[in-house]
Amino acid sequence: MSAGGPGTGAVVTGGGRGLGARVAALLAERGHLVHVTDVDGDAARATADRIGRGATSSPLDVRDAAACEAVARSTAERAGQLSVWVNNAGVLFTGPAWTNTPEQRQLMLDVNVGGVMNGTVAAIEQMRGHGGGHVVNIASLAGLVAVPGETVYAGTKHAVMGFSLSTQADLRRAKVRDVRVSCICPDGIWTPMLHERLDDPEAALSFTGRLLSVDEVAAAVGRVLDRPRQVTAVPRWRGTQVRVLDALPGIAVRALPLVVLQGRWTQRRLLRKGLPERLRTQESAR
Ligand SMILES: NC(=O)c1ccc[n+]([C@@H]2O[C@H](COP(=O)([O-])OP(=O)(O)OC[C@H]3O[C@@H](n4cnc5c(N)ncnc54)[C@H](O)[C@@H]3O)[C@@H](O)[C@H]2O)c1
């Protein structure tokens, strides 16, 4: 394991449910003393109780920089070293930007961008010179390409990419070699974030690939901890596909109506026929 050994501390934000809960479980399975945090403190506690293995929990609103610092400090004190911090907390409101309220736009910026910045800085302060560590930021394919219908969300995820890659370069410039920053860019994942979106036409593009299970994305986090990479798309072929579209925006805009139709078709099929078996079996991880 590259990021600290067994017994070292790991923090997951937004770990009360969805992907964060599964990533927290994975980190515990890898031997870390996991600190599960979420703005919903009860949900964080339930995740920690389910995981066992010495996992603890705290309420943490990632918009609060001082609270992120306190969580980083207390995790390092308890475990002796903080070696993994996963910035997972995120929120999504769909629709063109002009249909979101100013409060919705602000919340997406504050949680998805401000929260990642707060968590990353808090983690770096505890990691560098203290055994090092790895910050894993959960971005999205929406951080690599335009996603009409999830417009402000895509803007926040692009910000996560720019921030993470620049911070990794800053660490190199500052000769800090014991801290890594990585981004995971998943396609649509079957979590509560999408559970209510099967009949939301604005969310169609989240359903244009192969809907992922939390297990698949958590496994990618594990691989990145073993072999650090700055950017990991899940699945990898979708990363290639959206990067080509990003390089050819004219073609992307012309292809959009067809792609949206495909996403709507998948949404309706899931509503009509229910989830495929591989996604139904992940429900226990929630
Ligand atoms: N579900 C998808 O299709 C998908 C795809 C790509 C990337 N992602 C990203 O994966 C991450 C996890 O999302 P998910 O799908 O599990 O969503 P989710 O809605 O199921 O879980 C998000 C968690 O974040 C918590 N949270 C919200 N605001 C917070 C705050 N201010 N401080 C701390 N915690 C807060 C919520 O309480 C919740 O437990 C997010 O960053 C999301 O953007 C999701």
CATH number, domain with residue 36: 3.40.50.720
Residue 3 forms part of a structural domain: no
**Cα of 111 from ligand 1 centre, angstroms:** 9
> Which ligand 1 atom sits closest to the C-alpha of 87?
41
Rg (CA), the chain: 18
Write out pLDDT tens, residues 204-248.
999 999 999 999 999 999 999 999 999 999 999 999 999 999 999
CB 137 within 8 A of CB 160: yes
Domain carrying residue 116? 9-285
CA distance 251 to 277: 35
Mean pLDDT, the chain, rounded, equals 95
Write out pLDDT tens, residues 168-207.
999 999 999 999 999 999 999 999 999 989 999 999 999 9
**Cα of 184 from ligand 1 centre, angstroms:** 13
Residue 171 forms part of a structural domain: yes
Give the Å distances, CA to CA, from 96 to 150, 186, 189, 229: 7, 22, 21, 32
Q: What pLDDT, on the 0 to 100 scale, is given for residue 92? A: 98
Per the structure, the count of domains in the chain is: 1
Residue 128 forms part of a structural domain: yes
**Cα of 6 from ligand 1 centre, angstroms:** 26
Of 87, 191, 197, the one to substitute when testing ligand 1's pocket (max ligand atoms within 8 A of C-beta) is 191
pLDDT exceeds 70 at position 284: no
Regarding the beta carbon of 62 and ligand 1, being less than 6 Å apart is answered: yes
Residue 174 forms part of a structural domain: yes
Q: What pLDDT, on the 0 to 100 scale, is given for residue 145? A: 94
Write out pLDDT tens, residues 13-32.
999 999 999 999 999 999 99
Regarding the beta carbon of 88 and ligand 1, being less than 6 Å apart is answered: yes
Residue 277 forms part of a structural domain: yes
Write out pLDDT tens, residues 76-135.
999 999 999 999 999 999 999 999 999 999 999 999 999 999 999 999 999 999 999 999
pLDDT exceeds 80 at position 286: no
Regarding the beta carbon of 133 and ligand 1, being less than 6 Å apart is answered: no
Residue 2 forms part of a structural domain: no
Nearest-CA neighbor of 222 among 25, 13, 18?
A: 25
